[in-house]
Amino acid sequence: MTESRIRYAVLAALLLALAAVPYVSGKFFVYLTMRVMLLGIFAVGFNLLLGQTGLLSFGHGAFYAAGAYGLGLFGAYVTPNPLLGVAVGIAAAAVVALLVGYLCVRHTEIYFAMLTLACGMMVFSFVWNARSITGGDDGFIGIMRAPVTLFGGLRLPIGKDSQFYYFVLAFFVLAVWVAHRIRISPFGLVLSGIRENARRTEYAGIPVRKYRLSVFVVSGAFAGLAGALEALLESNARPFMAHWTHSAEPVLVSLLGGLSSLFGPIVGGAFFIAMREIIQRYTENWMLGFGVVLLVVIMAFRGGIMGAVENLFGRRSAGAGR
């Protein structure tokens, strides 16, 4: 078998396993898997910016929140159709990302990080203070999961978690596929070029700033998708979605899983959620144990968990081949 066939087989097996989750496991595991997929969407999009383009943003929570509040407000005042709601959430996130990105992409490195942090916290304060629109610190509550209507006739209920799971799974697969296409497209190659050497890329006649802005908006849209789905999952949107502590989550899971691969952030997200859940069952001081585990993983596996796995397999296949 060729390498690509193996890869497809593994992907198909993974997908089947994911699709089987509601049939073979308890409700709580289904819920946690949904959380992993949401964090996965958030982090995969984020990693287009960090891993692919080399820009570290600390403000992606703002776009996540834009997606969640976008869906919530649209659902409350226009129509509760979840597909339209998700679309509106993504659009809202993209618009906010465009505004923030326009201000931020002219800088790089720490300046970029600080600017995105500041913009994110501005969005947080806005959401916190605009109580009549957003519900303030109580959050925007009472978001309902109306059935999905397709082509006028077909109605798919998503009220139950086991039904909503497939809604999330569909978007998760779509998001990962889109991220994959972006990574291997000419656009993605330019982004890698910018990461490696922005000045040289610019000398090649490429408008670097526009590319940065584009990928910023795209990754913001991914965050918006994750936010909109979470709003549906939890029936609420909260100001702390826009807080920098939430913006730091994709940074952390990307580092954990590995910046250089498509699946790194997803693996990191799964590890992050699973570890926390496991440690919390043993101690109430879970934050301490969690911190230690994260420290060890980040220190020990350079290139993240996926980096370590690739090294292992790379060595093995190299050994077998010769």
State the minimum distance, in angstroms, from the CB of residue 69 to another protein: 14
State the minimum distance, in angstroms, from the CB of residue 23 to another protein: 16
State the minimum distance, in angstroms, from the CB of residue 274 to another protein: 13
Report, in angstroms and rounded to the nearest whole number, the Rg of the chain calculated over CA atoms. Answer: 20
Please list every residue from 235 through 294 that binds another protein, using CB under 8 A.
235-236, 238, 240, 277, 280, 282-287
CA 302 to chain centre: 22
The amino acid occupying position 306 is M
Q: With binding defined as CB under 8 A, does residue 137 bind another protein?
A: yes
The helix/strand/coil state of 154 is strand
Two structure tokens written together for 97: 């990302």
Q: With binding defined as CB under 8 A, does residue 142 bind another protein?
A: yes
* Among the residue ranges 48-56, 212-220, 230-238, 309-317, the one whose residues contact another protein (CB under 8 A): 230-238
Q: How many Å apart are CA 109 and CA 120, to the nearest integer?
A: 17
What is the chain's percent helix, strand, coil content, to nearest 5?
Answer: 80, 5, 20
Choose between 287 and 296: whose C-beta lies nearer to another protein. 287
Site string for another protein, 67-86 (x = CB under 8 A): --------------------
Site string for another protein, 143-182 (x = CB under 8 A): ------------------x---------------------
Please list every residue from 13 through 52 that binds another protein, using CB under 8 A.
26-29, 31, 35
Helix axes of 27-47 and 161-184: crossing angle, nearest 10 degrees: 20
State the minimum distance, in angstroms, from the CB of residue 251 to another protein: 18
* Among the residue ranges 189-197, 211-219, 232-240, 307-315, the one whose residues contact another protein (CB under 8 A): 232-240
Nearest one of 88, 106, 233, 231 to 160, comparing CA atoms: 233
Two structure tokens written together for 57: 């943003």
Distances (CA, A) of 54 to 90, 192, 195: 23, 8, 5
The helix/strand/coil state of 142 is coil
Choose between 25 and 317: whose C-beta lies nearer to another protein. 25
- How many residues of this chain interact with another protein, rule: CB under 8 A? 29
State the minimum distance, in angstroms, from the CB of residue 281 to another protein: 9
State the minimum distance, in angstroms, from the CB of residue 20 to another protein: 18
HSE (side-chain half, CA atoms, 13 Å) at 163: 11
Q: With binding defined as CB under 8 A, does residue 212 bind another protein?
A: no
Q: How many Å apart are CA 201 and CA 212, to the nearest integer?
A: 12
Q: How many Å apart are CA 32 and CA 131, to the nearest integer?
A: 31
Strand ranges in the chain using DSSP code E only, listed in sequence order = 140-141, 148-150, 154-156, 236-237
Choose between 112 and 167: whose C-beta lies nearer to another protein. 167
Two structure tokens written together for 183: 């990574």
Choose between 18 and 32: whose C-beta lies nearer to another protein. 32
Choose between 137 and 196: whose C-beta lies nearer to another protein. 137
State the minimum distance, in angstroms, from the CB of residue 68 to another protein: 11
Question: What contacts 77, CB < 8 A, 6 or more positions away?
Answer: none
State the minimum distance, in angstroms, from the CB of residue 139 to another protein: 6
- Would you tell me which residues interact with another protein (CB under 8 A)? 26-29, 31, 35, 128, 131, 136-139, 141-142, 161, 230, 234-236, 238, 240, 277, 280, 282-287
